[in-house]
Every structure is written in C-alpha cells, then in structure tokens.
Structure 1
Amino acid sequence: MRILHTSDWHLGRQFHGVSLEEDHDAIIAQVEKAIAEHQPDALIIAGDIFDRLTPSQAALRRFSDFIRNVTADGKLAIVLIAGNHDAAAQIGAMGILANTAHALVRGPLDRDERPLLITDEHGVVAISALPFGYEFSARACYENEGISCPADVLAEQIASARRHLPEGVRWVVAAHAFVEGASTSEGERPLTRSVGGIETVPASLFEGAHYVALGHLHRPQAVGVSHIRYSGAPLAFGFDEEGHAKSMTLVDLAADGSVSLAELPLVPIRSVRAIRGKLAELLAAPEGSADLIRVVLTDEHPQIDPMKRLRALYPNAVQLSYERDDRSQERRYAEGRAALDQPREVIANFVRFVRETPITDAEKALVDEAVAEFAAGGEAA
C-alpha cells in the first residue's frame, strides 16, 4: 500500500501581509505531479487545510479544484481531517457527497471513529482519521467531564478507533496533534485554550499503529520512531524556518506492516530569508530578489526611509530591524534570565514594586524557607 502524507497547507494565509496565492498554486502543482508520478493508493492531508475558520472563496476554489483533479480517474483514496485552524463543520461538509468506500473526511469529533478500509494484494489497510477537537467539544462528544487536555481528547479518539478495527489489519492513523519531543516553529498556534495547559500528547497513545500521519507542526520530522511522523508544512510561515527544506512523505506499507519512507521535496517559488548589512551596501546590490525578506541593518545610526528604498530591489521585504537594537534586546533577555537565578532578589523587587515598600525581615525569612524547600525538592527529584 502506498500513501502520500501531507499537511498544514494553510490555504489563504499571508506572510506579513504578502499574499501566498501564487506560492500555494506552485506547491499544489507539485503535489499533483507527485501523485501522477508515484501513483499512491491514498492521499492523507492531516489538518490545517485552510488558515482560517472562514477561508476565502479563492482558497476554497483552489482546494476544490485540486481534489477534483487528483480524483478524476477514481483511483486515489482521500483522507482529510480538520486541524485547529479549520472550521470542523466545513471540513465535515466536504465529505457529505464523497464516495465513502474511497474517501474519509472528518471534521467534528465523533464517538464512532470508523476507519476507511482499503484492500491491496496483501490484505486490508485500515486508515483512522482523527480530527482536531478542543477539550470542551470532546467532553460533550464523549460524555466525559474528565477530559482536560489534548492528550485526553486523543485518548478517547484512539480508543474509539480501536473498537472499529477489523482483526489483523494493518493500521494507519491520521491525527492533528503536538507529540512530545517534536520541534516547533513560530507559525503554529497552541492546541489548548486552557491558560498554562499542557498541549503535548505522548507517542505511546499510538501504540499498535503501523504508520501515524501527523499534522500541526511545520517541520518535517519523525517523533521517537520513524513511523510516527510529521510531513511538515509545504511553505515556510515564519523567518525561523529560513533554510528548512520542505517536503511530503511517501509511505510504502509492506505486508507485515513495516514501512519505508521517502521525502518528496517541495520547492517554493520564493524563499524566506534574512539579509544583513549597511543600507548603502544593500542598495548597491547588482540585482534584487522577490524572496520574502527580513532586513537587518548594521548601520549605527537610523537611516532615512530605509524600507521604502529597499523595496525598490526587494519588493517583498516585510520586516526591518537594526542589529544594534537586536543586540540590546538579546542582552536584556539574557539579564532577565540571569536574574531568575537570584529568586530572593526577584521576589524582593516584586514586593517593592507592588506595594512601594521594602520586603520585611519576617517576609525574607519566609522567602528563604520557601526557596530552601523548593531547592530540596528539586534535588530529590
């Protein structure tokens, strides 16, 4: 069984106000080409198909055209799930008229997580599609008031999916989650609405699955074991992704459930990158670039209208800072981190700030006792 795994398209997204419509068109064309060349049996898009709950008509049309193109010959099975950026009801509605023997489209949570069953020469493969859902939705769906975090939600989904697995099948799971140990990017939105809540889920929840197709995190990566994997987003959505290669994952599932994986590169038409130097040096460049640019000026003094002047060469320059300011910010951050190594001083300063009087000796004694107890507990742990 061959599966193409992708996720986090975020159709309709902008990059610091710059439209990414042409960038998405180029990526979608590459996905269509990969499907034509590699002939997968199933395509999994593991959530965040759109960037907003109310996507634009252009984004909806772009995705509809893609689905129409890749399913025209009736051979490709489609598995779609809603991510935290998607409107669950809208994604679910996409599956109303789908051929249920060849498509599984999951938007809202459901107590009966029934898989899509696909047969190859080695037998049956069951694909369970687990859409993203917040804790409050899961409590209502599963009638369980004890659900308090994303791990609880996913545990209920997995338990339901297991109940509907035929005996002896190879099992593939599509999910939208933050698995413990994975690397993040700045463009991802938290998966819990609880202040200070834990949004990660343990990889152990997926025990028994032969491949886990994950969405949410934008960097292609395996988590713990090779068969639990993020395909990553096809485009960079933050400057922290500069230089990161983008790809889809092609999965070949053998008769015994073992998998062989290949990363199919995706090449954006514009890169996300930073340029650095004095304004005069950057303006003297022999040619400009249409890339999405962050400018770091090394001039010691402020320059006159630098962004307007730079955009003559770099029309998609979207962010500008001075290196001296960046250094000052980094120094302040380092000083703040260092101050945390002196908890008594931090507490004393806080008390003085709040009530405008110094901390008393009696209060100092209480702080000393609390710090000592904490230190002893940390050493014991």
Structure 2
Amino acid sequence: MVLDQIIGTIVECEVDVLVIAGDIFDRAAPPATAVRQFNAFLSRVASETRAAVAMIAGNHDSGDRIASMSIMTDTRRALIRGDVSADERPLVLADKYGPVAFSGLPFAYEYTARECFADETLQSPEDVLAAQVAAARRNVPEGARWVIIGHAFVSGAQSSDSERPLVRVGGIETVGPEIFDGAHYVALGHLHRPQSVGVPHICYSGSPLAFGFDEAGTAKSMSLVEIDGAGAVDVKTIPFEPLRGIRTLRGKHAELVAAEPSTDFIKAVLTDDVPVIDGMKRLRAVFPNACDLTYERDQRAPEVKSLDGRQTKMANPLDVMGDFLELVRGERFNEDELKVIATALHDVRTGEDVE
C-alpha cells in the first residue's frame, strides 16, 4: 500500500522530516478504521525511522482531533497543528548548515481566525493566511531557513472535482503566492494534483491516491525536498505505485464486457442508445471494482428554456433571493443578511445541518 511506500522512502532516503499538509482524513469524524490505520502509520514513522513529523489540519479535518494528537508528543521531533494560533511557534531542526524552522499553519475559516487574532477585518482565506504567516514569521530564528506548511488554494494552481471549497458561497477562495514571501519552501495541501505554483519552491505534493475520476491519468507521488545552506531547494518526485489504477472507459456495453478483466477502479460511460439490463452487474463480472455507470446521452447538459422560448442559464441562488428581496421590499441584501444566507447555502451544499 501507499503508506508502506512512504515508510520505505523515508528509510531509504534518510528523510529528516515528513510533512503532511492537511486533509489527513476525508471528514471531521472519520471512521475508526481510518483513525487506527493512520495511528499505526505514525507509530511506524516513530519506531522505524529517525524522521520528525510536521503535520497540520486541513479543511476536511477536525482541528480539535488533529490538535489532540500533539498531547504528550516529543516536541523536538513533532509539530502537530490542529488549531490556528496567534503565536505560531516553529519546529526548529538543524543540519550541517544551521537551523531550519518549520511553521505549521492549519486551515481555519474566517470566523475562527477573527476570534484568534482579535481582528474583525479578516474576510477571506487570503486574510486568514496572511495573519498566520505574520504570526509565524515573528518566531522564526534569525538566520534560519524557513519552511511553511499550509493548506490553501494558491492562484494559478489546478484543482480537481472532489476538493471541497475553502470559502463560503460568494467569497474568493484563492490566495496569491506572494503571501509566502520570505519562505525558502512552501509545502501545500488541499489540491490533489502534484504541482508547483509559479515558482519551484511553492509546491503541492498532491493526494497519495486519486479521489475522483477526473484525476485518472494523474501520476501520484511524494516530493523529496533538499534545502542547501543558502536556502535553495531541489525537489525530486518519488512516484507511488497504487494497488489499483483509476480509469474511465467509454463505449458500448457489449464492447466493455468483452475487454480484458481488471481490478482497477472503473467508471463506465456507455454509448448505447437504449438502457442495458443489469448493466452494472454484468460489468462487475469483468471489472469487480467498477464504481460508476452512466450513459453518454445523459451527460449532455439539459437545455433550460424560458416561457418565451429563449434559452436561459440556471440562476445563481444568491441572485434569485436578491431579486426577491428587491421585489418585496425595494432593496437587496445588507452585509449581515448576506453572511447568514451565504453560510446557510454553504451548509446545504456540504451536507451540514442548518438550524
């Protein structure tokens, strides 16, 4: 499995620090099996390697759950950040060139950051991250090379369909890369595709496995980063070899069930003109891990027409509600109403309870 490959790379390459940049789990309350598996992985890192661990919570994680992992850990070998802090202190390690400071900046929504930094002007992910970077910068030892670990959507990066937005409805999600000025390397989480953003030292390692069929064909990997005495970085890609691939197959059902059997995760897009009886059951006889079956004809966007016969676009919910308020009372949202409605729409979209 991928976790075994990570352990093997740490040992083989004599890695000094394992960086995990958030989204450790895929939900705030992960299943017990996932928690046990991750705990066993960390135990192996501690017992089988000499690497330190620097880890932060992402937007999928519960900050409190991740923070609890830091209790009674060896702070000389671990930096675990679940909650945002106005006094962010780094893990400081040393090599033959001198100290290297690792600052962990966990994901936080604006309302949490406003309380932490006592600053009601924080209105966006960029505002929050700027406050975190400033808090961390104050505690970096003079002359130390600086590594930032963050969880954000940096402008210019390529996203995937399965990533949950970092912002409430109507807000700006991205942050500019210049926010990290002064850092010698920035290890980012959130986006699933491995990539650098604008400059070689601002990097996403990506998710270790594909989480959606839009990631089919995307090579998964971990990044091996070396920092020299001047702070210049050399990034090497260590590819993962997943147990199963992920593929989208397109064609008639009869053609697909006649193909070479495979245990890969499969999404089948059928080009048949009429529905196939027991299509998925018959497909799984050849591809036991088939996950999805759709028809090409159903993937075409439906045409939405107005009463006068002209085509129109699906309306934005905020626009609909704004138009309604303007009709009944003569004015649209004020700022407080917009915050309440945006929060409710976000909760509906992510499946959270709306009171």
Relative to the length of structure 1, the TM-score reads 0.79
Structure 2 equivalent of residue 107 of structure 1:
82
Does residue 197 of structure 2 align to residue 236 of structure 1?
Answer: no
Offset at residue 318 of structure 1 (A):
1.6
Query: Alignment partner of 1:89: what SS?
Result: helix
DSSP-derived class of the 2:2 partner: helix
Decide whether the 8 Å contact of 2:10 with 2:49 is kept in 1.
no
Could you tell me how far apart the structure 1 residues matched to 2:179 and 2:258 are? 56
1:314 aligned partner: 287
Equivalent residues in 2 for 1:18-167 (5 A)?
Answer: 26-72=1-47, 75-167=50-142
Say whether 1:226 aligns with 2:200. Answer: yes
For the residues of structure 2 that align with 1:147 and 1:90, how far apart are their CA atoms? 25
1:168 deviates by 0.9
Picking from 264, 281, 295, the partner of 1:291 is 264
Residue in structure 2 matched with residue 371 of structure 1 by the alignment: none
Matched residue type, 2:105: L
Moved over 4 A (4+): 338-341
Cα deviation per residue 1:228-260 (whole Å; 9 max; x = unaligned)?
Answer: 000000111111111010000000000000000
Equivalent position of 2:307 in the other structure: none
Structure 2 residue 146 is matched with structure 1 residue 171: yes
Shift of 1:296: 1.3
In 1: Cα distance, 2:196 partner to 2:49 partner: 31
Of residues 196-205 and 66-75 in structure 1, the stretch that sits farther from structure 2 once superposed is 66-75
SS at match of 1:218: coil
Where in structure 1 are there 5+ consecutive unaligned residues? Answer: 1-25, 356-381
Q: Secondary structure at the match of 2:47?
A: coil
CA drift at 1:200: 0.7
Q: Deviations over 1:57-116 (max 9, x none)?
A: 111111111111111157211101000011101101101111111111000111111011
3-state SS, counterpart of residue 157 of structure 1? helix
Per-residue CA deviation, residues 139-184 of structure 1 (Å, 9 max, x unaligned), is 1000001111100110110010111111111000000001011000
Q: After superposition, what is the alpha-carbon deviation per residue over 1:116-136, rounded to whole angstroms, capped at 9, x for unaligned?
A: 100110000001000000101
Structure 2 alignment gaps of length 5 or more: 305-309, 325-355
Q: Distance in 1 between matches of 2:171 and 2:248?
A: 34
Alpha-carbon contact 2:303-2:311 (below 8 Å) kept: no
Identity of aligned residues (%): 53
SS of 1:226 mapped into structure 2:
strand
Could you say what secondary structure the match of 1:179 adopts?
A: coil
2:239 maps to which residue?
A: 265
TM-score normalized with structure 2 length: 0.84
Deviates more, 1:97-106 or 1:296-305: 296-305
**What letter is aligned with 1:240?**
D
Q: Is 1:246 matched with 2:223? A: no
The 2-side partners of 1:205 and 1:89 are apart by 26
1:306 shift after superposition: 0.9
Offset at 1:339? 6.0
Q: 1:208, 1:138 → 2: CA distance?
A: 22
Tell me, what secondary structure is at the counterpart of 1:288?
coil
Looking at structure 2, the residues matched to 325 and 82 of structure 1 have their Cα atoms a distance apart, in angstroms, of 38
Alpha-carbon offset, residue 332 of structure 1: 4.3
Give the alignment of 1:336-375 within 5 angstroms.
Answer: none
Tell me which amino acid in the other structure corresponds to 1:229: C
CA RMSD of aligned residues (A): 2.1
On the 8 A contact 2:194/2:203 being kept in 1, the answer is yes
C-alpha distance 340-39 of structure 1, shift in aligned 2 (>3 A): farther
Higher relative contact order (CA 8 A, sep 6+): 1
Matches of 1:47 and 1:136, distance apart in 2 = 20
Q: Match of 2:84, as an amino acid?
A: L
The residue aligned with 1:325 is: 298
2: CA distance, partners of 1:94 / 1:185: 29
Q: 1:28 to 1:73 in 2, by over 3 A?
A: closer
